[in-house]
Amino acid sequence: MDYPGNLFVVSAPSGAGKSSLVNALMELDALVSHSVSHTTRTPRGQEKDGREYHFVSVQQFDAMVQADAFVEWANVHGNRYGTSRRSIEERISRGGDVMLEIDYQGAAQIKRAFANAVLVFVLPPSLQELHARLLRRGEDSPDVIEQRLANAVQEMAQVEKFDFVIINEVFERALFDLKTIVHAQRLKVAAQRRARADTFKSLHLNLPE
């Protein structure tokens, strides 16, 4: 299905900075919004239901899976996370650009469902710095941090399945890279639409709705 808005997936190991980058981009670009996922994980200190996530029970999550309410979902670090159809389809069908901050398993499902989705992987400059960021963020217990670091190596091995890679060392530079990817996609889609319109015009056909 071809929607007027664009879908971007931003994946990264925990602590690499994907939420910080997407939040900074949304402050600069009113056309971009992010999808609020559902999760069975417990909320962190500052998190609010409906803002960072819709926090649901395992039973509620399962009921949504049964009802085919998710475009993708996966088990990540021992919890379930999913993107509801409602959270994206209305916005991209109205021409908005939507950012999904989801893991690599979800990214692969999104690419199958939306061939035009752009997949971006954010890497930390090193595993040491990733560890330091998780500690500085101060939101996760030591064993949760250990599990996330252990999973990071396997997650980073998925980078070749993505369209773009951003190394988040200097934040402003990484943000610039993300902005460039979004602008390039908008230009590409606009050029494709113009070419399609020209083709139909030259054939004296009306463009399909």
Instruction: Please report, as ranges, the residues that interact with ligand ADP according to CB under 6 A.
Output: 12, 14-20, 133, 136-137, 168, 171
Residue from 8, 183, 6 nearest 106 by CA = 8
124 near ligand GDP (CB under 6 A)? no
Residue 201 is assigned to a ligand binding site: no
Question: Quick one: what does residue 171 bind among ligand GDP, ligand ADP, none, with the CB cut-off 5 to 8 Å set by partner type?
Answer: ligand ADP
Question: Quick one: what does residue 103 bind among ligand ADP, ligand GDP, none, with the CB cut-off 5 to 8 Å set by partner type?
Answer: ligand GDP
Residue type, 184: A
Q: Tally the C-alpha atoms within 13 A of residue 66's C-alpha that lie toward its C-beta.
A: 6
Residue 97 burial class via C-beta count within 10 angstroms: exposed 0-12, middle 13-18, buried 19 and up: buried
Residue 19 is assigned to a ligand binding site: yes
Q: What residues between 104 and 123 interact with ligand GDP by CB under 6 A?
A: 105-106
Tokens of 151: 């999973």
Rounded distance between C-alpha atoms, residue 209 and residue 193, angstroms: 13
Contact 110, 71 (CB under 8 A): yes
Rounded distance between C-alpha atoms, residue 63 and residue 69, angstroms: 9
Q: What residues between 143 and 202 interact with ligand GDP by CB under 6 A?
A: none
Nearer to ligand GDP, 82 or 96 (CB): 82
Residue 208 is assigned to a ligand binding site: no
Question: Quick one: what does residue 16 bind among ligand ADP, ligand GDP, none, with the CB cut-off 5 to 8 Å set by partner type?
Answer: ligand ADP
Nearer to ligand ADP, 37 or 64 (CB): 37
Phi, psi of 163 (to 5 degrees): -75, -35
97 near ligand GDP (CB under 6 A)? no
Phi, psi of 38 (to 5 degrees): -100, 145
Judged by the rule CB under 6 A, the positions of this chain that interact with ligand GDP are 11, 14-15, 19, 37, 41, 72-74, 76-77, 81-83, 101-103, 105-106
Binding site for ATP, by residue number, is: 12-19
